[in-house]
Amino acid sequence: MGDKQPLSLYVLFGALLAGLSWVLVDAWRGYRVRSWLRHGDLAMAPQMSGWWGVVLDRARKLLRERERTIDAGEQRLKDFLSAIQASPNGVVMLDARAQIEWCNQTAATHLGIHPERDVMQRVGNLLRDPIFTAYMAVDQPVEPVVMSGYRNRVERPVRISVQRHRYGEGKQLLLTRDVTLLEQAEAMRRDFVANVSHEIRTPLTVMSGFVETLQTLDLNADEQKRYLALMATQAVRMQGLVEDLLTLSRLEGSPVPSFVNSLPLESLLTACESEARGLSQTIANGAPPHVIEFQTNPLLAHAMLLGESRELQSALSNLVNNAVRYTPAGGHIDVSVDQGTDGSLVIAVRDTGAGIAAEHLPRLTERFYRVDRSRSRESGGTGLGLAIVKHVMQRHGGSLSITSELEHGSCFKLTFPANRWRAKA
């Protein structure tokens, strides 16, 4: 019995020691798990078995799901900001104190602010335009405001529309849009309507006066004939204006000419030459007629232009007739056809008229733009001829170029790309 009692004590002590060891090991594992959870780095997760291993596996899964959720959210935010960054409209986010939290590059260009340097700057301190200051003072604006853009210049205006929206807790969103072209288009529309009204009203006023004269006065046959001739002139002028307006409308509303139809270059030049000589004799009225010469590179004598015949005829006819109208009697008008170095076909109309000052050249193709209004009306022009020529050339992939010098005449060139003409065998 005496030997069995110490043995029992040894067994009990061993069991206690084993239990204590297990508790210490388990506590150490728990400490490692707790330390890892504080950092949450999946790469540093300890490897364990038992129930702590189960806990670790579950924690790793939850952390992976959380990281995937965070990554997906960050990616969505990046995609959203990239989409806003690529937007043609500007976006500026303001906090409750009207300080810039974020803006895209478009807004920075419109308003002249820096996307990084000006973060947390009050927008009112950066944009001092009185129009913008007054707009920001309105509590709930309904309509956007239009003000000058950052790169606004007298010779090249820039107009920016700004719309303000409230969101969140006192925050604001500014949306900017470049409306320069819209305002220019609206100004052109107003000018166009005003010009058309003026151009039509003038001959109508003249004709109304003549009609009233014929109705109220007892005129002899010669006087009646003279008044009727003047009325006919004004009627022709109005008819030409209406026809040119209809031509422009048709050009703008019809599809691009195909490459199926063709017009022999020789036929085009012959028709324009005949028309020019007839107009020259009419204008000369007894004075020496114009010297008109049409010259063509022999290799291009049988070339074919590919496009709409009526439009091509109208374009060259406008240029040749303008040269006749604005060149004094006896002057020279030369029409030449040659091939460019890039394979293009070039038709040049040169005259020995008074020439055009350099400041007028960029605007010559605008509708109703005239260098000398009184001289244009005397020559019978509508102010739409060069606008028609420009549209025709654009529709055929070509271009109209103008060079001129005062007292040395002008040169108008029609350049057709290589795919708009072909040489006929």
29-63 as b/e: b if 16+ CB within 10 A:
beeebeebeeeeeeeebeeeeeebeeebeebeeeb
The residue with tokens 């006919």 is 232
CA distances from 264 to 271, 321, 343, 407 (A): 11, 20, 18, 35
The span from the CA of 369 to the CA of 387, in Å, is 9
Query: How far, in Å, CA of 141 to CA of 135, rounded?
Result: 7
The residues near 45 (Cβ < 8 Å, ≥ 6 apart) are 36, 56, 59, 60
Find, among 367, 372, 379, the residue nearest to 233 by Cα: 379
Q: What is 139-184 written as a DSSP string?
A: SS--S-EEEE-TT--SSS--EEEEEEEEETTTEEEEEEEE-HHHHH
Our answer to whether residue 198 is catalytic in this structure is yes
Report the alpha-carbon distance of residue 350 to residue 353 in Å, rounded. 9
Query: Could you give the count of Cα atoms lying within 13 Å of 407 in the half-sphere of its Cβ?
Result: 0
Query: In 46-122, where does DSSP find H-type helix?
Result: 50-86, 105-111
Alpha-carbon gap, residue 384 to 244, rounded angstroms: 7
The SS3 of residue 347 is strand
As given in the structure block, the two tokens for residue 375 are: 């001289």
Catalytic residue among 114, 198, 302, 408: 198
Integer Cα distance of 209 and 212 in angstroms: 5
For residues 103 and 113, give the distance between their C-alpha atoms in angstroms, rounded to a whole number.
Answer: 9
Active-site amino acid positions? 198
